[in-house]
Amino acid sequence: MTNGEDSLKLSNQLCFPLYTASRLVTKCYQPLLSKLDLTYPQYLVLLVLWEEDQVRLSDIAVKLQLQSNTLTPLLKRMEELKLIKRLKSSEDERSIIISLTEKGIALKKEAEWIPESLGEKLNLSAVEAKQLYQLLYKLINSAE
């Protein structure tokens, strides 16, 4: 972007808008998700499970790029909310299989309007959203 003296200016750093945008988008979800009594990371877990039920904890960890020490308590809270079940795998006793409960499955219908609702909050055109999407994935894949 720039070199030398200005490199430490907040306005010249990519890190800052990334950090701010991420928190801001999470914040946009908050009022929508609180109606479903969900937090943002819990919603991400459900997105995984709505696509494919019966997933190992370690597979969720890979998909969401989260570690076991983050996921374990998060999933335990979701279990307390009766959204998911945590069962040991019969094939490998070390693995925990996460599956949706009836309540977790039913929640999908209630969540279907969320993406659209969020799209309205963020004033990006379809082209811009796609561009941003691609750049972010390039960034994610570039740094391992």
Residues that bind DNA (CB under 7 A): 19, 23, 26-27, 30, 39-42, 56-58, 61, 65-75, 77, 86, 89, 92-96
CB-CB contact of 84 with 78 (8 Å): yes
- Distances 75 to 46, 48, 71, 93 between C-alpha atoms, Å: 10, 13, 6, 18
DSSP state of 144: -
Question: Does 34 engage in binding with a copy of itself (CB under 8 A)?
Answer: no
Cα 69–45–94 angle (5° rounding)?
A: 50
Question: Does 106 help bind a copy of itself (rule: CB under 8 A)?
Answer: no
Residue type, 75: L
From the list DNA, a copy of itself, none, partner contacted by residue 84 (C-beta under 5 to 8 A by kind): none
**Site of interaction with a copy of itself (CB under 8 A):** 1, 3, 7-10, 12-26, 28-29, 40, 44, 47-48, 50-51, 63-65, 108, 111-112, 114-116, 118-119, 121-124, 126, 128-133, 135-140, 142-143
